[in-house]
Amino acid sequence: MERKERESSKGYLFVVGGPGGSGGSVISRMLAKEFNLRLIYAGRLFRDAVKKRGYEDFEDFYTSSNKESLLDLDREVDRRLIEESEGKDLLFDSKAFAGISHIKDIPCTVKIWLTASLHVRALRHLGKQDLEGKGFLERFGMYMRERKNLRKRWKLDKERYFKLYGVDYSKPELYNDIVIDSSNMNEEETFNLILKRLENGQYLKK
């Protein structure tokens, strides 16, 4: 992928994205710590914007609002990220910004996309819940709900980003420098592979 160079005076701008359960948030924290970057989490910007609109959380906003209101929220958060991209030494944890930066020709140091199979992503989400005392059938039901929710969210994200920017969410290789399937790796293995790719790709030259 041909990349526009970021001004050296601005330091780094890392972008990490991926569908729910791919490990993006954990890897973002690890990278931010490793390279001393200010972490900006798009999901938190969404939650803050939703609360300003008087809703309890994103799900409350989503079920109570129409599609255009959701797109307006996307645009608000994305404008904030675009403004923040002028800052120094940043890491954006965002599903959309790799595509946005590609369309709007915003230079980034490196854009990293993490993915994993639906099965693995559902298991990871399930692992964050309290399963103590729950039998096999109940756990299986919870697992199937996670699969359904993740599939629904992926479809929603794909529709939103295409309508907003013409971004093909199903083809992250079009917008990202590094694409990694973390299905068969733990967090440490994924992190170490990214460090190796960063070094081999010479992304960290200032």
CATH number of the domain that 47 lies in? Answer: 3.40.50.300
Task: Assign 46 a pLDDT band (cuts: 50, 70, 90).
Answer: confident
Question: So what's the pLDDT on residue 42?
Answer: 92
Q: Note whether residue 148 is domain-resident.
A: no
104-135 pLDDT per residue, tens: 999 999 999 999 999 999 999 998 888 888 88
pLDDT of residue 25: 94
Assess if residue 65 is contained within a domain. Answer: yes
How far from 64 is each of 39, 67, 70, 76, 81, CA to CA, in Å? 30, 10, 10, 18, 25
In a domain, 134, yes or no: no
- Amino acid 169 reads Y
- Establish if 164 belongs to a structural domain: no
Q: How many domains does the chain have?
A: 1
In a domain, 153, yes or no: no
